[in-house]
Amino acid sequence: ACDVSLPDDSSPLLSLSEGTVLVKSADTGRHPDGIVEPATYKQAILSPQRDYWIQAMQEELEALFRNGVFTETHLPKGRRALPTMWVFKVKRKPDGSVERFKARLVVKGFMQREGIDYQEVYAPTARTDTFRVLMAVAAELDLEVHHVDVKTAFLNGELDETLFVQSPQGYTLSSDGHA
């Protein structure tokens, strides 16, 4: 048997008999308002919030095209188109109410081959020390600091490689042979 208790407490919080195991329950992603963040495209289009997810996917695709992230082209011989998938997230206000439904189109990067699909991986980020210095300077000079969340900031990265990706699930960009 296994007894689990808090320090300085003689009564166990949990008592297990021999051979009993604990299994962590899967997080369903369900909010008290009943909205579930879908894990797949199919779940999104079958959910009660279907129209919101479709709108979020459309907004994502429009942003990708507007920013010139990709263009439609024929897939060259010897190249392969990397698969894509949708990632869904409900953005909430501090009070827990829905702010917006967000869909991101991502490339299944784990399918890429080093030296063929990419040469190096680099993501510029601010170091904690740099952030602290900036905040100290702002405090010393009595400056106001504003936080800005740019929805499409990640689209500004430069690639040296040409990547070919499959059309996102639910959208047909053109006929077969295009990537």
pLDDT of residue 12: 42
What is the three-class DSSP state of 166?
coil
The share of the chain scoring above pLDDT 90, in percent, equals 26
- 162, pLDDT greater than 50: yes
pLDDT of residue 155: 52
Q: What are phi and psi of 172, to 5 degrees?
A: -110, 115
What is the value of pTM for the model shown? 0.60
Tell me which amino acid residue 33 is.
D
pLDDT of residue 159: 62
DSSP code per residue over 22-89: --PPPP--B-TT--B--SSHHHHHHSTTHHHHHHHHHHHHHHHHHTT-----BPPTT--PBPEEEEEE
pLDDT in tens, 115-139: 665 555 555 677 888 889 989 999 9
pLDDT in tens, 19-67: 555 544 445 556 677 788 999 999 999 999 999 999 999 999 888 888 8
Nearest to 73 by CA among 168, 156, 166, 157: 166
The share of the chain scoring above pLDDT 70, in percent, equals 61
pLDDT of residue 103: 94
pLDDT of residue 177: 46
Tell me which amino acid residue 142 is.
D
